[in-house]
Structure 1
């Protein structure tokens, strides 16, 4: 396992089936150390084309499964996985609810999904607003391929700086951003329109803080759209910009009100905690 994220992901049985999403050149698990398979929405050739100006892509691991529609459809003839792992991938999903519903279908009962996400407050997404359940639900119910307002948000308001230490300082950050944001409005609109016309946007369609993600999933549970139970949650460590969680696949969450109420209580208790006391802390449940 990658040493830089070993503090977030623990207890994975590498002899069991693992699916890693979007590994590019830095997989969490190597084939030599685990029964791992790699998935991406792009083929090896497509990844090479997109990242042709980045030398690191030459070291990208070969993709085993190319996902063009859904994971359930692409992997319908493949044995189910005991683990799914991803590092800074979930924020790229334009249809968040669909992804979380979809990925559960390729997992064994009780299979664990580990995800690491950027805390937008401490990376280049600092000036963007967290994704709400209302937004995710609207995209889900209207079957939008992506949210146009998030495309604009990404193009217009991503910061030049991506150093978490600077964002944790928060000294005159707004002024520094405004003075360094030299994107011309006409160029922003042109790029925005090109995405709407079909150009690719390899950016963050969603942004989160640990608590905003917890609250988003709280409402997903209320809406019977969350087939998962929380197993662990790691809050963003000081001077870093990654938080993490693990979820156990549990289709019964979609129909069992008692089970859902138990999960809601777990989340509510965390939301009530002082976040300053949670920095870097990992909460675990049986």
Structure 2
């Protein structure tokens, strides 16, 4: 019998269901993989790819033999200047910045690649801690479906709210994404900016922290009035300046849920291949460009959706203050019996 936490059992159950019903391939290696290996496990260096905003930490750098184009909102010179002026950045990392091949926002990926005449020519797209910043995720996913070949991969590293400054924020819902999509949102709106800052958390001054420590040490910032004042000011002029914030917030199960709902609604051509459990403060997702609208069994879809909804609740609760206290009490009782 599986004695793991209920949330892990439910997510494993959902994964097995998708593997059986939605043509999921499982190529996970038995041996532990590095972070880079996790993200690149479904691609190889001979294929043509795109990496979104790699900055100073490219996952598929040309210098290592990858046939990959870099996409960034800044050109190479600006990236290097910004990095050199960043006091918190190790100067050695500036050397890792590779030439930017395509200058522009990932939100406009379809326009950028169409202008180059390369639609449908890419084997993969890599993104690390970029997707959550996109104001219109559905638009980006649809663009990926047009930029990638059929069978092409979108592989991403995504932060888990439970171990980051998003700790106090609720996970993103389909309604959030649909509103941004139907309004053709081009940049974060004042309310997304407010949500990012108003409960931005620190744990002993850190923006990333382990999930197994006492979460009562996580503290929200104390500038609520200031952020509300900024919201009121931005309501009338927010389109003038772009704010870099987390527009979406996830745990693995909530991301999984959004992906299968989009596929069910016919809003994304990308199918789930693999979503890993969280390691540190991030998890990895691998989506395949199926290229067609699947005929999804209604009963099986709603069974999976319900399973994932419960998994979301379980994951979110897994490192709450109450759960931590329960684990401490259980450990104390077990210690008394030994």
Q: TM-score range by the shorter chain?
A: 0.7 to 0.9
- Specify the SS of the correspondent of 2:126: strand
Of the structure 1 ranges 261-270 and 104-113, higher mean CA displacement relative to structure 2 is found in 261-270
Cα distance in structure 2, aligned partners of 1:84 and 1:19: 5
Cα distance in structure 2, aligned partners of 1:63 and 1:259: 44
Q: Deviations along 1:69-124, whole A, 9 cap, x unmatched?
A: 72222112136110111111100111111111112111111101101100011111
Cα distance in structure 1, aligned partners of 2:148 and 2:67: 15
- Indicate the RMSD between aligned Cα atoms, in angstroms: 3.0
Q: How do residues 73-152 of structure 1 correspond to structure 2 at under 5 angstroms?
A: 73-76=111-114, 77-78=117-118, 80-145=121-186, 146-152=188-194
Other-structure match for 1:53: 85
- Provide TM-score, normalisation by structure 2: 0.69
Give the deviation of 1:7 after TM superposition: 3.4
Cα distance in structure 2, aligned partners of 1:53 and 1:230: 39
- Provide TM-score, normalisation by structure 1: 0.81
Q: How do residues 181-260 of structure 1 correspond to structure 2 at under 5 angstroms?
A: 181-183=221-223, 185-186=225-226, 189-190=229-230, 193-194=233-234, 196=238, 198-237=240-279, 240-253=280-293, 256-258=294-296
- Specify the SS of the correspondent of 1:114: strand
Higher-Rg member (1/2): 2
Cα pair 1:120 1:207 within 8 Å, conserved: yes
Cα distance in structure 2, aligned partners of 1:64 and 1:106: 16
Cα pair 2:194 2:227 within 8 Å, conserved: no
Cα distance in structure 2, aligned partners of 1:198 and 1:49: 23
- Specify the SS of the correspondent of 1:252: coil
Other-structure match for 1:62: 99
Cα pair 1:98 1:140 within 8 Å, conserved: yes
Q: Deviations along 1:138-158, whole A, 9 cap, x unmatched?
A: 111122333432110112121
Cα distance in structure 2, aligned partners of 1:191 and 1:53: 29
- Specify the SS of the correspondent of 2:154: strand
- Specify the SS of the correspondent of 2:197: helix
Please, which runs of 5 or more residues in structure 2 have no aligned partner? 1-32, 319-338
Aligned length: 267
Cα pair 1:8 1:234 within 8 Å, conserved: no
Paired residue for 2:71, among 31, 39, 44? Answer: 39
Of the structure 1 ranges 132-141 and 53-62, higher mean CA displacement relative to structure 2 is found in 53-62
Kindly tell me: are residues 184 and 45 of structure 1, through their superposed partners in 2, closer, same or farther at Cα, counting changes over 3 Å? farther
Give the deviation of 1:183 after TM superposition: 2.4
Give the deviation of 1:133 after TM superposition: 0.3
Please, which runs of 5 or more residues in structure 1 have no aligned partner? 280-286
Cα pair 1:116 1:244 within 8 Å, conserved: yes
